Structure 1
Amino acid sequence: MGTNMLSSKCSSFSYFSPRRIAVSIDVPKIKVKNISTARLPNRSLVAELDYLHKYIPTTTTTHTKEDPYYSKINTNDSTTSGTSTPNSMEEVKLHLIMDVVADRIEMHKNIGAQRDNWNRLLVTSVNMITLSASAMVGLAAASPSGAHIVALKVSSTILYMAATGLILVMNKIQPSQLAEEQRNAARLFKQLHGELRTRLSLGNPSENDVEEAMEKVLALDGAYPLPLLGSMLEKLPRTVEPAVWWPRQKQRSRRKEELGGKLKGKNGWDARSEAEMRKIGMILRKKDMAEYLRLGKQVLNFNKVLAVSGPLLSGLAALGSCFLGSVSSSWPVMVGVIGGALASVVNTLEHGGQVGMVFEMYRANSGFFKLMEESIELNIAEEDPHKRENGELFEIKVALQLGRSLSELRQFAAAVSSSHEERDFEEFASKLF
């Protein structure tokens, strides 16, 4: 009996004990007291990064072991190949010249667009004024005599005189030619900007590079002036000469590492390449440049005839409108109407057809060939091949400027050499224009 009671108590205890334990368990509250943490550096993270950025990549300052960041700097130095040096004064000067050149590009671009707009507005305005005056003369001749005839006569005379003055101003400044000058200047300044960028990418510029860049900027400023008064180029010159936008070329030493690594042998030059370049320079002078000068002279003469005819016709029309109704003859009406119509035609042909722009284009093209010829002669005349431009690179540059491949350029030079008379050689050196 006692044994059964003991077993029942044990079984009941084993049955109820898990619940009693679960209920009776009391999780103690954990109180966070002082926790030992790593000691932060005195400097903030921003200050530390600024310090590392300041001393690691840009300077070669030596640090001592007392420096708190000596270990970090030393580790960084061991993982990097080297540190960059500060920019030299020549690099700073070239960057300054590049900024000036970029500003010149924007100036010539904006002023060129403005002067092109001048040409369009002036052509339209002068034609409208001239045709309106011609219509007034016709109305005055067809109407019976009265006060309105006097008004039409005076109005047409004023309009013809205004048109004559505007045509004289347009013929003097040639807005289409001005716009072409600014377009050429912007293109050449962009070319100079690219040359300076390439020179800086090669590294280690010299003082000669700085002086040469400044001379080119000043030469471009003189060749394509911005103001109209005082320094404007003559738009109707007596003789046609090539445009010159480069400084006087002179013999100068070139680094052997320039544009293509260390030079070997004769700097890419040999007897064959010298003969080829000599023949190409001769053809450029006798064929290409002479042809564009001839075309420029023809366009200039045509432009001079138009420049005289326009104001002359409008002036005669103004004279005819003045005598309208004063004489019994019909010649004032004929002169007033026909003169105004012809004046508008001449003005449209001269300025609407942009004859001045065509002349400037021919003049600039002849200048381009003159520059190539001078470059070829300068390199050939230099006895020391290491003071020349690299022969292979110079040949590539000449071929691309003439719109030819290297094989075409060599075949062209061979054809010139095989011909008996260079003057009778029909092909031009340039295939570009």
Structure 2
Amino acid sequence: MASLQATSFLHSSAYSLPRLSRKQTITSILDIPKIRASNIPLHDLPNGGLAEELEMARSYASLKTTMLDEKYTKKYENYEPDSMVMEKLYAILEAVADRVEMHKNIGDQRDNWNSLLLTSINAITLAGATMSGIASTITAGAAPVGTLKICSTLMFIAATGMLCIMNKIQPSQLAEEQRNAARLFKQLEKKIETTIAIGEPTDRDVNEAMQKVLALDKAYPLPLLGVMLEKFPSNVEPAVWWPQQQRSGQATNADFNGWNPKLEKEMRSIVEVIRRKDKEEYLRLGGKALKLNKMLAISGPLLTALAAIGSSFVGSPMLGGSWAAILGVVAGSLASVVNTLEHGGQVGMLFEMYRSNAGFFKLMEKSIESSSMERRENGEVFEMKVALQLGRSLSELRNLASSSSNRGGEVDEFASKLF
């Protein structure tokens, strides 16, 4: 604006003064006294317009970026992870990777046990029933009758013993335990790798990783003798594969870390739905699977034992030859059907799956309660994790929490949409 005023002044002077020569005019213009900007107070300067404002904004943004860079550099340029902590974490990481491979291989092996034992026992049982039926068609006192009776009886006795062992260890359930263990150890492996890559590992991270490894070892043991999990417990309880969480106490009100009263209320409502719907449903289904498995586990050996008794009396006048043959053939055939339903249908695996799902929801309860109390993890990030674990979007999760709050925890839908 100052330049415009000077220009207008020159033009007005040119028109008001007498006409001069071109040389004189140029000399007059060049003889205008120079004004030093440093001598003018800043508050007396007129507004420089949009160009000067943009220049000031760019200067401010550049200064702010420089300050942030200096702050970030000052925070991290001198950070050097503790070599002992890193060495411990790498040692735990190697052990976890080894356990992943061990549980995977042993799970495949125990799955093969289930299919091979099922095929072998059914073949033995049906062969014994066939021999018992053939023996009943031969005239009493003939030479082959005694041989067929002995062979049939021995086969049924062998099938009874093998079924007792198989029903005791439940290979399909063992295989499911190892699959769960391999998956959970894989999760722990990824978490340790992330801590090493982008975190600032401390002794606390080492202790937590160590406790989680030991808790998983206890929850899913590899040996069968002495430490094998009870396959027919009196009560169905959720599987527990995490260490006992020690709360550090309520966070201070100044340290919200993305949490607010609305989010805390939402998380409490989600916990209520999980406890009343999802966890209770899987415990109920687990109880039904356990009862069915118990019934089949008792029925199989009982039927093969009855078949062995019937086949041993084929052709004998004590029980009547025809009734003994019927008992041997029918009981042996039913034993094969029961064995196929139990182990071919993998009822033990079904029970373990329900028990693990209930444990998953119990872990979610503990995690939500602990996170809302301590606020160690950012509230918005934690909300997103809960939504992903339940197979829901953030809007669906909030709608579920709202419905639960309005109905006092009684909702028709389950919290999880995954399983």
Closer, same or farther in 2 for the Cα pair 1:254/1:277, shift >3 Å?
A: closer
Q: What one-letter code is carried by the residue in structure 1 that aligns with 2:159?
A: A
Distance 2:94 2:248 in 1: 26
Q: Give the alignment partner of residue 209 of structure 1, picking from 180, 201, 205.
A: 205
Distance 2:298 2:206 in 1: 47
* Paired residue secondary structure (1:242): coil
Distance 2:324 2:269 in 1: 63
Q: Which region of structure 1 is more displaced relative to structure 2, 326-335 or 167-176?
A: 326-335
- Runs of 4+ aligned structure 1 residues displaced above 3 Å come to 81-87, 252-255
Which residue number corresponds to residue 367 of structure 1?
Answer: 359
Closer, same or farther in 2 for the Cα pair 1:369/1:85, shift >3 Å?
A: closer
Q: How does 1:149-168 map to 2 (within 5 A)?
A: 149-168=145-164
Q: CA RMSD in A?
A: 2.0
Cα distance, 1:378 vs. partner? 1.4
Distance 2:256 2:77 in 1: 35
Alignment partner of 1:422 is 2:409? yes
Size of the aligned set, in residue pairs, is: 340
Q: Give the alignment partner of residue 171 of structure 2, picking from 161, 171, 175.
A: 175
Q: How does 1:218-237 map to 2 (within 5 A)?
A: 218-237=214-233
Q: How does 1:263-412 map to 2 (within 5 A)?
A: 266-327=256-317, 328-382=320-374, 385=375, 388-412=376-400
* TM-score computed with the length of structure 2 as normaliser: 0.78
Which residue number corresponds to residue 21 of structure 2?
Answer: none
Cα distance, 1:415 vs. partner? 1.3
Alignment partner of 1:117 is 2:103? no
Alignment partner of 1:250 is 2:246? yes
* TM-score computed with the length of structure 1 as normaliser: 0.76
Cα distance, 1:87 vs. partner? 5.7
Closer, same or farther in 2 for the Cα pair 1:267/1:96, shift >3 Å?
A: same
Any idea what the Cα deviations from partners look like across 1:60-89, whole Å, max 9, x if unmatched?
Answer: xxxxxxxxxxxxxxxxxxxxx989957621
Which residue number corresponds to residue 28 of structure 1?
Answer: none
Cα distance, 1:330 vs. partner? 1.8
Any idea what the Cα deviations from partners look like across 1:128-163, whole Å, max 9, x if unmatched?
Answer: 000000000011011123121000000000000000
Distance 2:363 2:172 in 1: 25
Alignment partner of 1:139 is 2:134? yes
Distance 1:278 1:300 in 2: 31
Distance 1:281 1:413 in 2: 9
Q: Percent identity?
A: 60
Distance 1:130 1:329 in 2: 20
Distance 2:227 2:120 in 1: 27
Cα distance, 1:329 vs. partner? 4.4
Alignment partner of 1:99 is 2:107? no
Distance 2:150 2:281 in 1: 50
Q: What one-letter code is carried by the residue in structure 2 that aligns with 1:94?
A: L
Of Structure 1 and Structure 2, the greater helix share is in: 2
Distance 1:245 1:131 in 2: 41
Closer, same or farther in 2 for the Cα pair 1:207/1:253, shift >3 Å?
A: farther
Cα distance, 1:203 vs. partner? 3.4
Cα distance, 1:251 vs. partner? 1.8
Distance 1:287 1:280 in 2: 10
Cα distance, 1:379 vs. partner? 2.3
Structure 2 gaps of 5+ residues are 1-75
Cα distance, 1:202 vs. partner? 2.1
Residues 314 and 321 of structure 2 are in contact (CA less than 8 Å); yes or no, is this contact kept in structure 1?
A: no
Distance 1:217 1:288 in 2: 27
Distance 1:250 1:288 in 2: 25
Cα distance, 1:381 vs. partner? 3.3
